[in-house]
Amino acid sequence: MANSEKTLVLVKPDGVAEGHIGQIISRLESKRYQIAALKVVTATTDQLKRHYREQVEKPYFHEIQTYMQEGPLVAIIVTGTDVVKTVHNLAGKTRPNDAQPGTIRGDFAHAYPDGILRNIVHTSDSRENAHHEIAIWFPELAVEAHQQASPSKK
């Protein structure tokens, strides 16, 4: 049985600055996935705290925040069969040095000597996280979905 679902892809500021948006979208489309929504955003501190909720109390969270706010990012909702797992694998290992050639990070990300992890792209790693992350980056879609599900009052 087909497992149609949604996932979130964030092209991070380094991916945007280096001009990889089109190449990343092409890789998603070559897998026959659909782009359901796309927008350019500047990350707010609130969005980052909610997105990286498990790292907020870590000593390196400030570095994540600085990195994610150094320029615009592109938020993309991708839909298709088994899209969460497949897109997460397409991104490659989190650390660019560990990512295989043929993955987004393996082909486009760089190892930086300053120790800050700049890895071009984020992808949801589970359906639950995809749902949570889509609500953070596309709150207007969560409102629309809620309004469509609720009967209108006259």
pTM over 0.75: yes
Domain count, the chain: 1
Contact indicator for 124, 133 with CB cutoff of 8 Å: yes
Q: Which domain holds residue 83?
A: 4-149
Residue 83, beta-bridge partner list: none
Instruction: Describe the crossing of helices 21-30 and 83-91 by its angle, rounded to 10 degrees.
Output: 140
| Virtual torsion, Cα 141, 147, 148, 152, nearest 10 deg | -160
Query: Quick check: is 154 in a domain?
Result: no
Query: Quick check: is 133 in a domain?
Result: yes
The catalytic site residues sit at 122
Query: Quick check: is 115 in a domain?
Result: yes
Query: Quick check: is 56 in a domain?
Result: yes
Q: Render each residue's pLDDT in the chain as its tens digit; 154 residues.
A: 466 899 999 999 999 999 999 999 999 999 999 999 999 999 999 999 999 999 999 999 999 999 999 999 999 999 999 999 999 999 999 988 889 999 999 999 987 666 667 899 999 999 999 999 999 999 998 755 545 544 554 4
**CATH number of the structural domain spanning residue 14:** 3.30.70.141
Write out 99-113 in H/E/C secondary structure: CCCCCHHHHHCCCCC
